[in-house]
Every structure is written in structure tokens, then in C-alpha cells.
Chains A and B, each alone.
Chain A
Amino acid sequence: MKTYTNTGSKDTRSGFGAGLTELGKRNENVVALCADLTGSLKMDEFMANHPERFFQVGIAEANMMGIAAGMTIGGKIPFTGTFANFSTGRVYDQIRQSIAYSGKNVKICASHAGVTLGEDGATHQILEDIGLMKMLPGMTVINTCDFNQTKAATLAIAEHNGPVYLRFGRPKVPNFTPENQEFKIGKAVQLTEGTDVTIVATGHLVWEALEASKVLADSGISAEVINIHTIKPLDDKAILESVSKTGCIVTAEEHNYYGGLGESVARVLSQNHPAPQEFVATNDTFGESGTPAQLMDKYGLNSAAIQKAAKTVIARK
């Protein structure tokens, strides 16, 4: 079984910051907007390098989305930065009308997604954002799993013409995907080959899925781990090919199972290849204060939860 090494834990938001810094040098049309969270979003370096292309809008996210939409008129490629909660639910109608329906080339970059935001608690921990954003026609939805992938995704979305939601997080997590990888929007990444169960994971749950697959292997279960970084458009083909072989699937995400990756996968399976599926996701709940590790454990978003789901789904075959 192919194994992966953590080359040093880093936060995914720093991957975004590194990508944005590189974009600033590469593409003079890239502009960045932030709603009073420049440090948290790791946009400082871009701001320092290109003060004329950095726009501090203050604590006014609705205005930020509108300004970003307007800046595309004249050829700019705006990257907005704030927490996932304030990037989506707070400004849904602005995104819907001024960005998505208007077909504007805005990149909505959202940090601190999910419960791993930690101690700030449920007011800041959005678990509904993937659902909100994937429902918008024409919106591309990406949730990256580590520093290197987030940096690569940040570079890739600048080359894509159309609105994008890029979701990443706050805590330091294992960095295990290749440096300077090519990021293909909408293309799943097969991490391990297996025959008994498919595990598709997104965001922080990808490393947990790899950890789970090692433990499962010890008990004789062969898991195929697939990283779905792009939830929309979904790589239906990769999912169907894998499930055709394994006959069952576990989906894993740091999100409510209503509206999440799991439901998107269920749609693909029910239409093409019905198969048992188990969901590792939050169960229609808000989060709470705690450390990221405590919260992942309490809300069933870790390797142990994935192992349990894998055994359950195999038994249902």
C-alpha cells in the first residue's frame, strides 16, 4: 500500500497565503480584498508586496463581495478573504446576485471552515458552507486538504474563468501532498489502491482517511482512499470506477452531512451505480468551543470514525 509522509504540519490558510503571494508576482490582474482579517488569512505578504492591489474593506463583507464583483469589470481577478462563515452565509445574496448570477470572475477564499476553528465556538464554525455554495449555479467549490494542495489550488483558480469558492482551515495539519503539484480543478486524486471499500474524503479528513486505511489494512481490509478536493464539479467517473471495484463507499468531510460532499456522492451513486454508503460528517448540529482535536473526536470526524464507518459499510454489502 502506498504510504504518505507528513513533511511538517502547516495550516492550509498559510498555503493560501503562499499561493496568493506567488500570484501577486505572476499576474498583475490579481487583486486581493480582506474584511479585517488580513493576518488570519495570511494575506500580509501580498498586502506588503502590492499595496496598490490590496483592498482593506473593514468589517463589511457584503460590501466586499459587491466591490469584488465590480472589480472584475475592467479585467481584475479579485480574491476575497475572510472566515468561511462570513464568506458564505453572511453574504449569500450578494454572492448569488452580484457574483454567481452575474457570472463574475471572483475567487471567494474562506479560511477557518468547520469545527477545527476551535475555541471561538459555533458562531464562527460554519458546517453548512459547502452546501450553500454548491447550490449556486456555475459556482466551483473546492476544499483543500493540506498546505501544498491549498497553495496549488490558489494558483489554479486564478487561471479558471468563473466564480470559485475555495475552502480551507485554521489549524496546523499534516502536509503530505507533493510540493509544486499540478492542481486540476474537478479531478479526484487517488491516494491508495484498495478492493474492499472506497473512502472519499475532502479537506482535513483526507489525512484521517489515510490514517484509517493503515489501521484497516492491519485488520485485513483493503481501502481505496480518494481525495476529492473539488466538490463541484464532482469527478463522477473516479467515484464510479472505484465503487464498481469495491462495492461500497465512505464519504468523509468536516461539514454537515446535509448538503455536503456525501450527498453529492450519493446522488452520483443512486443515478449510476447504487451501493451502500456511510457518512462521516456532522449530524445536523452546530459546533462548540474546544481544541480542534477534541472537536474532531467529539463530532466523529477522525480516523476512528472512518474506520468504524468502513466496517459498517462493508457489512452492508
Chain B
Amino acid sequence: MPNIEELQDLTTQVRRDILRMVHKVNSGHPGGSLGCAEFFVCLYNEIMESKNGFNMDGIDEDIFFLSNGHISPVYYSVLARSGYFPVDELNTFRLIDSRLQGHPTTHEGLPGVRIASGSLGQGMSVAIGAAESKKLNKDNHLIYSLHGDGELQEGQNWEAIMYAAGNNIDNLIATVDLNGQQIDGSTDNVLPMGNLKSKFEAFGWTVLEIEEGNDISSILQGMAKAKTLTGQGKPVCVLLKTVMGNGVDFMMHTHAWHGKAPNDEQLEIGLAQNIETIGDY
């Protein structure tokens, strides 16, 4: 059984990493990163089957793709704290000559990253390709992917969603971070997307909703259920209902912190709400 308290402590530490990383360079995307901290911690510690070390081909292990690459702070923090690269390297986020580019890339050889992302809407197709590759290799491990909800406004997603159902890509669990916010405002105000559950189902996917996307037990339970839905001829979509900016009160429930760094004072408030657990980088 997973130790929920340990995962919670790790999540708190990841939130501190996110705040400190974006504060240091006065740029980056804390809102979506904070909202997905629990998900990433669960994914890398409990949900995915991973081998030690990093190999691009990911044979005989589960593979994750981040499509909404702007939430790189949470990705980098969790990768580092899962042993993919030294935690100290978080100090180099967005700096010149760093492997931790503003948006994730394979170009600088950062272990753990298998595709560049940032220009939105491309990750679903890539995940499907990796899923097809696994099927050809008779590798029964799964492909996981994460997408922003606003990102679904990009048309390529719907090409991919149609393909995945039409071709029985049932070794893929695509999670949508349903926080209802994007840069210019709420998703409903910018471009209403209607009922995403109905849309995915209409395209032939199995859809599972996680109502408490910032609750570790709910995530673990939901993703365990999602795994049982794989291998049945249909791709699986998880609608993960999160709060953008979760864990830092003044950043929550607003799009304002999508892509803005806290100042010195705001950093102190945010850190005070997330007391150091396993140690700052």
C-alpha cells in the first residue's frame, strides 16, 4: 500500500520547487504546475512501471508524455526527485546553457524527456505513435500522457482522438488536466468546449472522471481503475478535475498565475503555506 503521507510530503516539496524555480528567473508557469503536482507525484511514484535509468526507447516500461509543455516546473521537479537527474539542477531552470529549457526538450539530452513540447496540441499524436510502437514490439506496458484542457482547442488533438479509437489504441491513458483556465481567462469564456466527457465518448473512448484531482487517494484510486480499463479495445481518457495554482491560496481558482512568477513577498507567502519536507534543492 502506498504511504499517502509520504506522497503528500513529496507533493509539498514539489510545490516549493515550482515556486522557487519560477521566482528565481521571474518567468515560467506556476498555475498549471501547482495544479498537477499531486498527479505527477502519484504517476512517477505509484502509477507507472519504470526501469532504473533512462532509455529513450522505453522498452518494457511505461512511458509518459507531457503535451502541455509549459508546466515544465512540475515535470522537472518530479523527474529530479525520481532520480532522473540531480535535484540541484533545478537551479538552472530557464537559464542559459541549461538542460531545463523553458519548455521540455530532448535537444539538450535531459533524462526523462522523450519529446519536445510547448507548441500545444501535439502530444496526443506522439503518445499514439509510441503506443503503436509498443504494440509492434509486443510490449504490454502502457503509455500515459497529460494534456491541458485549453489545449484541446488545437485541432490536431481531434485527429488523434479519432485515430486512437478507430485503431483500438487501448494501451494509452490520456489524462486531461481539467482546471477550466487558460491564459486569457476561463476556458468557458475563451472558447467553450462543451461536455468533454460526451465528446470523448462520442469519439469512441472510455472516459473516467477523477473529481478530486488534487487528492492523492482519489488520483491513485482513479488511475488504478483507469489501468483496468486498458486492453479492452478502446483508448482511455481520464478527466482530472484540478484547481489551477493549488496549494498557494492566492494563486488558486484563477488564470492570473498561468504564466506569471511570484515576487519576493509572494514567494515567502507561498513557501510559508508549504513547509519544507524532504529538503529544498
Contact = CB atoms under 8 A, between A and B. Distances in A.
A293 interface: no
Interface in A30-63: 31, 52-53, 55, 57-58, 60, 62-63
A74 B116 contact: no
Given A94-B122, A97-B118, A70 B156 contact: no
Contact of B132 (A62, A71, A93): A71
Interface stretch (B57-65, B200-208, B239-247, B271-279): B57-65
Q: Find the residue from A31, A55, A65, A69 having the highest chain B CB count within 10 A.
A: A69
Interface in B127-175: 127-134, 136-137, 139, 155-156, 159-160, 162-163, 166-167
A67 interface: yes
B122 A31 contact: no
Given A98-B116, A98-B126, A66 B136 contact: no
Contact of A74 (B106, B107, B133, B156): B133
B70 interface: no
A70 B129 contact: yes
B58 to A, nearest CB: 6
Interface class of chain A by DSSP: helix
B114 interface: yes
Given A69-B115, A73-B129, A97-B116, A63 B105 contact: no
Interface in B10-56: 56
B125 interface: yes
A73 B127 CA distance: 10
Contact of B162 (A53, A60, A71, A102): A60
Count chain A CB atoms within 10 A of each CB in B126, B130, B136, B139 and give the residue with the most.
B126
Contacts of A73: 56-58, 63, 114-115, 129-130, 133
B156 A94 contact: yes
B115 A67 contact: no
A70 B162 contact: no
Contacts of B160: 63, 66-67
A67 B132 contact: yes
Nearest to A52: B136
Contacts of B130: 70-71, 73-74
Contact of B156 (A66, A75, A78): A66
B122 A75 contact: no
B182 interface: no
Interface string A75-118: 11010000000000000011011100111100000000000000
A60 B124 CA distance: 13
Nearest to B113: A102
B115 A57 contact: no
Contacts of A296: none
B232 interface: no
Q: Interface size class for chain A?
A: 20 to 34
B116 A101 contact: yes
A69 B136 contact: no
Residue among B56, B124, B133 facing the most chain A CB atoms (10 A cut-off): B133
A78 B159 CA distance: 19
A157 interface: no
B119 interface: yes
A65 B125 contact: yes
A94 to B, nearest CB: 6
A219 to B, nearest CB: 53
Contacts of A57: 159, 163
A68 interface: yes
Nearest to A76: B133
Nearest to B115: A102
Contacts of A75: 57, 59, 133, 137
Contacts of B107: 101-103
Contacts of B137: 74-75
A98 B127 CA distance: 11
Residue of A71, A73, A76 with most chain B CB atoms under a 10 A cut-off:
A73
Nearest to B55: A73
Nearest to A70: B129
Interface in A245-272: none
Contacts of B118: 97
Contacts of B114: 73
Contacts of A62: 122, 125, 155-156, 159
B117 A70 contact: no
Given A75-B133, A75-B137, A70 B159 contact: no
A57 B167 CA distance: 9
B215 to A, nearest CB: 31
B125 A74 contact: no
Contacts of A102: 105-107, 115-116
B106 A103 contact: yes
B119 A70 contact: no
Interface in B217-268: none
A104 B117 CA distance: 13
Nearest to B121: A62
Contacts of A93: 119, 122
Nearest to B134: A74
B159 to A, nearest CB: 4
A104 B223 CA distance: 30
CB-CB nearest 8 A-B residue pairs? A70-B129, A66-B125, A74-B133, A63-B159, A60-B159, A67-B129, A70-B126, A71-B129
18 contacts: A60-B159, A62-B156, A63-B128, A65-B125, A66-B124, A66-B125, A66-B156, A69-B126, A70-B125, A71-B130, A72-B129, A72-B133, A74-B133, A97-B117, A98-B115, A98-B122, A102-B106, A102-B115
